[in-house]
Amino acid sequence: MKLILPILCMLSLLGCSKPEGRWRATQDVSVFKAANEADEVAFILRKGEPCALGREQVVKAFMYREVNCAQGQGWLLYEAGYPFAQESR
């Protein structure tokens, strides 16, 4: 039972197809529950934590990017770039 959560987290990291690879946050960033709900924070992604970046979506003139992290799935609000650096292999 203790292995289910880590396995699900790893599968969610592998689920994003674009851009490929693992990414690390370069600063703390709020991750929102939905692309159109910038006032409902799902969790805070801390600097240095890894995640997978997914598709982009435009809602009401704002751009969001999907993320899958160990804490869960959510959306980042685009603010002059996404605070991530790609990990080297």
Instruction: Report residue 33's pLDDT band, with 50, 70 and 90 as the boundaries.
Output: very high
What are the structural domains, with CATH classification, of the chain? 4-86 (2.30.30.40)
Residue-wise pLDDT for 34-46, tens only, equals 988 778 999 999 9
Task: Give pLDDT, residue 48.
Answer: 94
Sheet holding 62-69, edge to edge: 41-45, 29-32, 72-77, 62-69, 50-59, 23-25, 84-86
Task: Give pLDDT, residue 1.
Answer: 56
Task: Give pLDDT, residue 36.
Answer: 83
Quick one: how far is CA 60 from the chain centroid? 20
Task: Give pLDDT, residue 14.
Answer: 40
The values of phi and psi at residue 49, to 5°, are: -80, 140
Cα–Cα distances (Å) from 6 to 67, 69, 70, in that order, read 17, 11, 8
- What's the CA gap between 63 and 45, in Å, rounded? 18
Task: Judge whether residue 27 has pLDDT over 90.
Answer: yes
Mean pLDDT, to the nearest integer, of 24-33?
93
Average pLDDT of the chain to the nearest whole number: 78
Looking at this protein, which amino acid is placed at residue 72? G
- What's the CA gap between 57 and 53, in Å, rounded? 12
